[in-house]
Amino acid sequence: MKRVIVGLSGGVDSSVAAYLLKEQGYEVIGLFMKNWHDDSVTISDECPWLDDSNDAMLVADKLGIPFQTVDLSVQYKERIVDYMFNEYEKGRTPNPDILCNREIKFDVFMDIALELGADFVATGHYCRKGTIKKKGTEIHQLLAGADGNKDQSYFLCQLSQKQLAKALFPVGELLKPEVREIAKTQGLITADKKDSQGLCFIGKVRLPEFLQQQLKPKEGVIVEVNESFETYSIAIPEFDSKEKELEFLSKKPVYNLSDGKVVGQHQGAHYFTKGQRKGLAVGGTKEPLFVIDTDVVDNVIYTGQGKNHPGLFRNALFVTNEELHWVREDLALNNGETMSVIARIRYRQPLEKAVLHKVKSGLYVEFEKKQSAITEGQFVAWYIKDELIGSGVIS
């Protein structure tokens, strides 16, 4: 009998995942990961991990499976929290959930599971795994979840073949309402629990307060850049190579204080991210202001009015070789090669047509349509049909 360790998070998805595996005849063990001790930055009336671990325990009890809690807070701090501070300091916007899957759930946690004699590790993610044979080798596919509204393949975009080989996603074939229905029928306490928000396994965190622990507030100005700013209307020059054109298209405009007018103050450019609208606290504009760029060196936030401001849009981005990852190593491009794909630059974004261009220094992703708020430090993921084949950090 194959042994599966389920990461029971105290939510409905992982609860049903455990139930389904048991039904399929696996020997199932539930493990709850405790990743966070500092309740001072979580929103006070909720102590999420305590409630969640209780719910996970009750579910394990109901299903009659062994259950234990593992404390991964040291690794979580090193690999996720420190990384977040570091990225924000550089003026990039990290995606802790993707990192948490790569570094914690399918690495530290997976190692613990394998030590406990597990054949597989399962989570409640809405995605599917496929396996194909190519020249006698087994290749694992990361496929979108059957519920298009809930598909979470994007969050797993950094997984490797080795990690996928040991992964199971039991709810990936189901729709969310079906998952809730199973939980109800089985009398699982998590049936009506609302979906968790906030950082993976930390719960709801007030981000500015969380960041202020390490990144000290520092007053600076908010500058509004008019949409008639000359850089936006520069005609695209003729280039003698596609690579030079892509370099031009993927470069973000560089702003100076003289390119706009000062409209307000802020407490630190590193607390803000591109495309952000909340928290600017500047009134009196016809349309709301959106962040179009942050300068963490000079501590300036550049903004523009309305979500169609030209400063928000461009149609190419770059990923360096160090931050490029192929889930399907067999499909990795060589220098000079291109590939037509569909891609997204954030979770929940509809997939958009794009072309990948591999160059010596990395990879360009050129979108057919201009994309809003391409943000450094976030992940771009690309697919062929419903299979996620690679991803990278936007540089």
**95-105 confidence digits (pLDDT tens):** 988 999 999 99
- The neighbour count for residue 148, using CB atoms within 10 Å, is 11
Q: How far is CA 341 from CA 155, 295, 318, 371, 390, in A?
A: 18, 32, 15, 15, 10
- Is the domain of 164 the same as that of 226? no
CA-to-CA distance for 348 and 154, rounded, in angstroms?
Answer: 9
Examine the pLDDT at 48 and tell me if it is beyond 80. Answer: no
- Is the domain of 147 the same as that of 166? yes
**Residue corresponding to tokens 């299903």:** 63
Q: How far is CA 82 from CA 78, 94, 144, 288, 375, in A?
A: 5, 11, 30, 33, 20
- Is the domain of 206 the same as that of 281? no
Among 155, 185, 212, the domain-final residue is: 212
User: What confidence score (pLDDT) does residue 279 get?
Assistant: 87
- Is the domain of 110 the same as that of 258? no
- Is the domain of 173 the same as that of 103? yes
- Is the domain of 136 the same as that of 281? no
- Is the domain of 198 the same as that of 136? yes
Q: How far is CA 340 from CA 261, 307, 367, in A?
A: 41, 28, 10
User: What confidence score (pLDDT) does residue 15 get?
Assistant: 98
Tell me the average pLDDT across 366-390: 97
pLDDT digits (tens, 9 = 90+) for 59-74: 999 999 999 999 998 9
CA-to-CA distance for 197 and 179, rounded, in angstroms?
Answer: 18
pLDDT digits (tens, 9 = 90+) for 315-343: 999 999 999 999 999 999 999 999 999 99
Among 212, 243, 270, the domain-final residue is: 212
CA-to-CA distance for 102 and 157, rounded, in angstroms?
Answer: 9
User: What confidence score (pLDDT) does residue 35 get?
Assistant: 81
What backbone torsions phi and psi does residue 92 show, to the nearest 5 degrees?
-105, 165
- Is the domain of 156 the same as that of 244? no
The reported pTM is 0.93
Among 212, 231, 266, the domain-final residue is: 212
What backbone torsions phi and psi does residue 32 show, to the nearest 5 degrees?
-105, 130
Instruction: Give me the CATH number covering residue 291.
Output: 2.40.30.10
Q: Which of 156, 141, 150 is nearest to 101 (CA)?
A: 156
Count of structural domains within the chain: 2
- Is the domain of 226 the same as that of 191? no
User: What confidence score (pLDDT) does residue 194 get?
Assistant: 85
User: What confidence score (pLDDT) does residue 195 get?
Assistant: 81
Instruction: Give me the CATH number covering residue 151.
Output: 3.40.50.620
Length of the chain: 395
- Is the domain of 316 the same as that of 389? yes
pLDDT digits (tens, 9 = 90+) for 203-260: 556 666 777 778 888 999 999 999 999 999 998 899 999 999 999 999 999 999 999 9
127 forms bridges with which residues in the sheet?
144
CA-to-CA distance for 350 and 353, rounded, in angstroms?
Answer: 10
Of all residues in the chain, the percent with pLDDT exceeding 90 is: 80
User: Is position 100 annotated as part of the catalytic site?
Assistant: yes
User: What confidence score (pLDDT) does residue 201 get?
Assistant: 47
Tell me the average pLDDT across 27-40: 83
- Is the domain of 314 the same as that of 351? yes
Examine the pLDDT at 202 and tell me if it is beyond 70. Answer: no
Decide the pairing of beta strands 261-266 and 220-224: antiparallel
pLDDT-based confidence at residue 36 (cuts at 50, 70, 90): confident
For the CA atoms of 130, 119, 27, 67, the dihedral, rounded to the nearest 10 degrees, stands at -110
pLDDT-based confidence at residue 41 (cuts at 50, 70, 90): low
Tell me the average pLDDT across 45-55: 78
- Is the domain of 343 the same as that of 278? yes
Please indicate whether residue 199 or residue 152 has the higher confidence score (pLDDT). Answer: 152
User: What confidence score (pLDDT) does residue 299 get?
Assistant: 96
What backbone torsions phi and psi does residue 361 show, to the nearest 5 degrees?
-90, -10
| Structural domain harbouring 312 | 217-395
